[in-house]
Amino acid sequence: MSNDYDPLRVIPTDAPPTVACRKKGSFEPALTLMGEHDLCPGCGEPLALRQILDSIEALGHAQDAIGVIGIGCYTALTSLMDIDLIQALHGRAPSVATGAKRMRPDNLIFTLQGDGDMVNEGLQEVIHTAARGENVTCILLNNGVFGETGGHMTSTTVLGQRTKNSIEGRDAKQHGYPILIGDLLAGLQGTAYCARASVHDAKGVARTRRFLDRAFTSQEKGQGFSFVEILTMCPTGWFIPTAEGPNYLDEELGAIHEVGELKKDGVLIDRNA
């Protein structure tokens, strides 16, 4: 009997198998401990997290990556992330990452923060870390609301967006304008790589992965500060049916926080060109 394996052969099912099964590929998420989590149906954060962990493994950083985690819904996912982590305070992850990177320059150091964490509470931290050209990667999960508290306005909430404390929609006169954090950080000299992605569809997820790969590669090269903003769905915090999350993200938030690369190798990208 031949042991040659022919993947295209028809497997006879009228008799017990004569050749051992062989696994052809694994499609399990990388660096993930399988277990329960508390996130809502339709949440975009697990999609973003999977791209981050897949990218870390694919680039060979499974055993040197250190994540610094902010406070938000995604904090609950830290129990499932099988990489070394430091839990930071709300807003403070970029400083903690700075200290870790200075002491361990050969490790891949990244932060994971939400828009409330990074753009509200810790805006000065991320700006200073970028301006210093700190060789770390900051990742923003931007859904335009404080999801964990139940859907309140953040600094990235777009005009007209309804939240629990802008119930008639964000109004510029009363609530001011959203901060386009990616654009702000791209303009700083210390920023080497800067991009905005979205996980609202398969193409967007693939793009997210590509941008993350480029940000981590930029850190490997020691180019300075790298930043990836990922727009994520929060149907619970947006008070819309779960299935409408991706379209709402694309049409409402995506129209203001435009997806694309903003800076590469320290050079601003002319998006009108």
Task: Please state the closest distance from residue 30 (CB atom) to other proteins, in A.
Answer: 8
- Chain mean position to CA 234: 14
64 binds other proteins per the rule CB under 8 A:
yes
Tell me: does residue 81 bind other proteins (CB under 8 A): yes
Closer to other proteins at the Cβ: 81 or 253? 81
> Shortest CA distance to 163 belongs to which of 207, 122, 115?
115
156 binds other proteins (CB under 8 A): no
Binding flags for other proteins, 204-223, as an x/- string (CB under 8 A) = --------------------
Q: How many CB atoms lie within 10 A of CB 50?
A: 18
CB-nearer residue toward other proteins: 43 or 66: 66
Does 54 participate in binding other proteins (rule CB under 8 A)? no
Map residues 125-154 to x or -, x wherever contact with other proteins holds by CB under 8 A.
x--x--------------------------
Smaller CB separation from other proteins, 121 or 229 = 121
Q: How many residues bind other proteins (CB under 8 A)?
A: 47
Q: Which of 58, 62, 123, 158 binds other proteins (CB under 8 A)?
A: 62
Span 109-128, contacts to other proteins by CB under 8 A: 124-125, 128
Q: Does the protein bind other proteins through residue 82 (CB under 8 A)?
A: yes
CB of 75 to other proteins, least distance (A): 8
Spatial CB neighbours of 220, under 8 Å, sequence gap ≥ 6: 59, 108
Q: Which is nearer to other proteins, 56 or 228 (CB)?
A: 56
Binding positions for other proteins, 24-43, rule CB under 8 A: 30-31, 33, 35-38
Q: Cβ distance 205 to 273 under 8 Å?
A: no
Mention every residue, 6+ apart, whose C-beta is less than 8 A from residue 159.
Answer: 169, 170, 171, 172, 177, 178, 256
Distances (CA, A) of 9 to 4, 25, 82, 219: 11, 18, 38, 46
Residues that bind other proteins (CB under 8 A): 30-31, 33, 35-38, 56-57, 61-66, 68, 75-76, 78-89, 92, 94-104, 107-108, 124-125, 128
